């Protein structure tokens, strides 16, 4: 059996299409601006687009940085521990809605 990935954050999606790709059965959902969701869930981890190639975990610290509460998120680093492999690569075609949403978020 293949190793099953465990997602540590609450799942969030860039679009209805991304949600439908990630889950097999119909699910209830709520749509809201990313900044609103991050402010409402401050202190929790969120996982953007779980089970999809463009997935990304946001830690509570990253979310605070994105909301402008702890300075620049690009000026800090986090050391990962625990023997997990970390693969960094460029996504061939980033989801347009995710790019638009993050562009809007970072303009604030």
Structural domain includes residue 86: no
CA separation, residue 1 to residues 4, 53, 104 (Å) = 9, 21, 41
Structural domain includes residue 67: yes
pTM: 0.58
Structural domain includes residue 78: no
Structural domain includes residue 26: yes
- Cα separation, 89 vs 44, whole angstroms: 26
Band (pLDDT 50/70/90 cuts) for residue 48 is: very high
pLDDT digits (tens, 9 = 90+) for 28-44: 889 999 899 999 999 99
- Lowest mean pLDDT, pick from 11-20, 24-33, 94-103: 94-103
* Model confidence at 45: pLDDT above 50: yes
Structural domain includes residue 24: yes
Domain count, the chain: 1
Token duo for residue 45: 């981890």
Structural domain includes residue 3: no
CA 101 distance to own-chain centroid: 12
Domain that holds residue 24: 10-72+92-107
Band (pLDDT 50/70/90 cuts) for residue 2 is: very low
Collapsing DSSP to helix, strand or coil, 35 comes out as helix
| pLDDT for 6 | 57
| Higher pLDDT, residue 1 or 87 | 87
Structural domain includes residue 30: yes
Structural domain includes residue 5: no
């Amino acid at each position: 059996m293949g190793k099953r990935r465990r997602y540590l954050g609450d799942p969030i999606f860039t679009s209805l299409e991304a949600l439908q790709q990630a889950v097999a059965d119909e699910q209830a959902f709520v749509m809201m601006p990313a900044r609103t969701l991050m402010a409402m869930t401050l202190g929790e981890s969120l996982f953007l687009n779980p089970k999809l190639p463009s997935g990304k975990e946001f830690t509570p610290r990253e979310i605070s940085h994105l909301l402008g509460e702890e300075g620049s998120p690009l000026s800090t680093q986090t050391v990962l521990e625990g023997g997990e492999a970390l693969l960094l690569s460029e996504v061939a075609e980033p989801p347009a809605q995710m790019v638009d949403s993050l562009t809007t978020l970072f303009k604030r």
